[in-house]
Amino acid sequence: MTNAGWYPDPAGAPDTYRYWDGQSWSQMTTTSPAGGSRPDGVPSGPPPAAPTYGAVPAPPTAPNPYAQQAGPYSSYGGGPPQQWSPTPAPSGGGGRTAVIVVAAVVALVLLGVGGFFGIRAITGDDDSDRRAGEGSSHSDDAEATHATDGTDGTDGTDGTGEPTEGSSSAVRPTGIQCTDGASSPSSAPDAGAARLTGGGLSIPRQPSYSLATGDQVAFGFADDFVLQYTQVEDSWISLTGVGALAKDNGFDDVATAAEVVLQCLTGSDKVYRGFTGRTDTANEPITVDGKPAHRITAQIRVTDPEISVEGDVTDVVVVDTGDPTAFGLYIGMATIGRADLVGANEAVLAQLAVD
């Protein structure tokens, strides 16, 4: 039979000891077995030496405080006892050291998690700053990627911190403006139709161009965007398309909305990778079918070893069509140095209409 004495509490409480009288456990516990209270007149003193195991009776059973069944040990938490071998109280602080180590690990984990969310809160929700204007002038079918990294273009600068000609350096797009559009239209564009329609606008169909939708090219700022494109080289296309900008996403007027869209495009790593600068050649109020609108035309230049082109002549036109919930949006992108593509886009823009 195991010797009587103080042993670590079988209920599992840290730094707590319970008295074993050789037959059963006392209900009294102590944190100082050398000078703790004495149950039923038991003398205090240091815990006994570890019992010798081998040809001795089975060790006493201890209560399981986590069991659900009722039983003779229910005063300790209920449930039938499980086999347990008492071990003399430790002479050092090993148990406390283990607790401190565990606490330190937990603290480090919490600090790491807090830092992660803190950084996310500073840089923008769900990486929205990096993904701002997650647009692309390429369809997945065409496997084309105008992309930007490096100078972001979202501050209306040319990559040196100086405002670009005609741009509004005070305008800053938000993550919602650049990414919260419902870019997939309710129906696929009709290849046989004479005009493409979207956002209350329409443009003439170019039969030799392929069709795509906003979700395929990740124009994340636009609703219901449809476009037509032609391949220029493996990783570059030219396009024209129409869609909508939801006013609830922070688009309050046509001039600011046009600037925001252009910054969303130049700030996207899926549109103009290697963006080096933007020069506006037009930044002016216009009308489309008598409706107030704003046009920005910019030469957007890139340096990318994967492509040979210099960049695009990009048109952004935002139109107040009279819809109380959204503006109409036109985007055209034509490769710099390709007079045929630039001319084709100008012809399409000249026929932009309000549906």
Q: What is the pLDDT of residues 37-72, one digit of tens each?
A: 455 555 454 444 444 444 444 445 544 444 444 443
Q: What is the pLDDT of residues 227-277, one digit of tens each?
A: 999 999 998 999 999 999 999 999 999 999 999 999 999 998 888 889 999
104, 152: one domain: no
Domain that holds residue 168: 128-354
201, 287: one domain: yes
180, 273: one domain: yes
Q: What is the CATH number of the domain that holds 287?
A: 3.40.1000.10
For the chain, the average pLDDT equals 72
How would you class 181 by CB atoms within 10 Å of its CB: exposed for 0-12, middle for 13-18, buried for 19 or more? Answer: buried
- Check residues 132 and 19 and name the one with the higher pLDDT: 19
pTM: 0.57
The CA distance from 99 to 114, in Å, is 22
210, 287: one domain: yes
Q: Which residues contact 208 (CB under 8 A, 6 or more apart)?
A: 230
Q: How many domains does the chain have?
A: 3
